[in-house]
A and B are shown apart, each in its own frame.
Chain A
């Protein structure tokens, strides 16, 4: 497995992926956003999910910045704080954007349910200071952003149950539209929310990231990993088939014996 992944990764052959309807919907939403729309990114994940989360986040952030959206970042998971800030500044630097004017990172807030509910009343009351210690109400980008009424979309980047809380408290109570960037392991857990329309769209796993990168037009970590992932999957499928053949042949021979 190690060799298959490394070799197919080094080969780095471009791998074409067709966008799934959910990814297409997420892309279309950001693509058609009017200028200066507000997108709130919530980095609700652990550091261990970074390999999968990073390509999804960068693809979404780049697209949001290219669409000239105002991006507000925060974290409801302690480990996502520094990672979120680094990814935001990395994506913003590629577009020459200025902190405080084009984007802001508000940092981490414990008691995530209180934080999600509190943003519905006043975002500056929940986050009196940003990640860098500036008074939130003095930051230029925050003028006119008071609560969910001023936020067009919440994008939660998560590897656990935070999107459910965004849906239950931000979505159900304040009618806030919510999108999610999820690790592949979490996709089936959120399918019911997607089907019921409580989640607007989902960009899931490395495959979702690759699809989004293709739509965006800039290949990144998602695309680089797709050949390796596909090769690894074929390897697993081959092992399952071989294992089953051996098992059934063994059973047949036992039956004869």
Chain B
């Protein structure tokens, strides 16, 4: 058994001691997890963001244009001083402006226009066959929208449609919850797989 597997096995068991009750062994393992995750992410970001994207091009390749992002980045730290904290608005404005410019058209197309066009489907398929799935999509879409339409009181037909919409929402929440339970179960099974196979060698 290699050293990494040994450490992983011991830490997995340490985390599972919480099933008995909160204890120092669990808290040590939990602290290690948080510390290591942050440390690993910090090192990766230091290398890939600052070294690769800033220090190397600026000091290694002599790209003087990189002084601009360096200054913008440093301005973010002006927030620590009340007197000059206004300067941090410059890089924030730059980020928001550029970010919105890139995101709005992409999201509008992918999340709205494409989704709307996918929802508008013909009720009659090829050779005139009735498309039941399309009917469910249309009814589900309209009734759920009716539920979120608050400019008119939910009474009469509007009330019935909104009520039907809640059933569609409940089905969605139920499915999502079911998948989430399945996902957490899979994580647990994965750890059991590791413990029984790699760590304890009970199963080959």
Contacts and interface: CB of A to CB of B under 8 A. Distances in A.
Contacts of B44: 78, 81, 108
Contacts of B184: 185
Interface residues of A, number: 55
B195 to A, nearest CB: 9
A110 B54 CA distance: 13
Interface string A63-79: 00000000000000011
A198 interface: yes
Contacts of B52: 128-129
Interface of B: 19, 37, 40-41, 44-45, 48-49, 52, 102-103, 106-107, 109-111, 114-115, 117-118, 172, 175-176, 179-194, 196, 202-203
Contacts of A49: 187
Contacts of B110: 164, 167-168, 171-172, 198
B36 to A, nearest CB: 9
Give the dominant DSSP class at B's interface.
helix
A232 B185 contact: yes
B193 A225 contact: yes
A244 interface: no
Contacts of A188: 172, 175-176, 179
Among B182, B187, B196, which residue has the most Cβ atoms of chain A within 10 A?
Answer: B182
B106 A51 contact: no
The 10 closest A-B pairs by CB, nearest first: A51-B190, A196-B118, A185-B183, A184-B183, A206-B186, A168-B110, A225-B189, A184-B182, A78-B44, A52-B186
A215 interface: no
B186 A6 contact: no
Contacts of A168: 103, 106-107, 109-111
Nearest to A50: B190
8 contacts: A9-B196, A110-B48, A164-B111, A168-B103, A183-B186, A185-B180, A188-B176, A189-B176
Interface of A: 2, 5-6, 9-10, 12, 47-52, 54, 78-79, 81, 107-111, 113, 117, 128-129, 164, 167-169, 171-173, 183-189, 192, 195-198, 205-207, 221, 224-225, 228-229, 232-233, 236
Contacts of A206: 182, 186, 189-190
Given A9-B192, A78-B44, A225-B193, A51 B107 contact: no
Contact of B196 (A10, A109, A207): A10
A67 B196 CA distance: 32
Nearest to A169: B106
B179 A185 contact: yes
Contacts of B19: 2
A112 to B, nearest CB: 12
B118 to A, nearest CB: 3
B179 A205 contact: yes
A237 B186 CA distance: 16
Contacts of A233: 182, 185
Contacts of A2: 19
Contact of A9 (B109, B183, B193): B193
A47 B37 contact: yes
B183 A79 contact: no
A196 B118 CA distance: 5
Contacts of B191: 51
Contact of A228 (B111, B114, B189, B194): B189
Contacts of A54: 190
A17 to B, nearest CB: 13
A228 B190 CA distance: 10
A51 B193 contact: yes
A10 B103 CA distance: 49
B180 A184 contact: yes
Contacts of A108: 44, 48
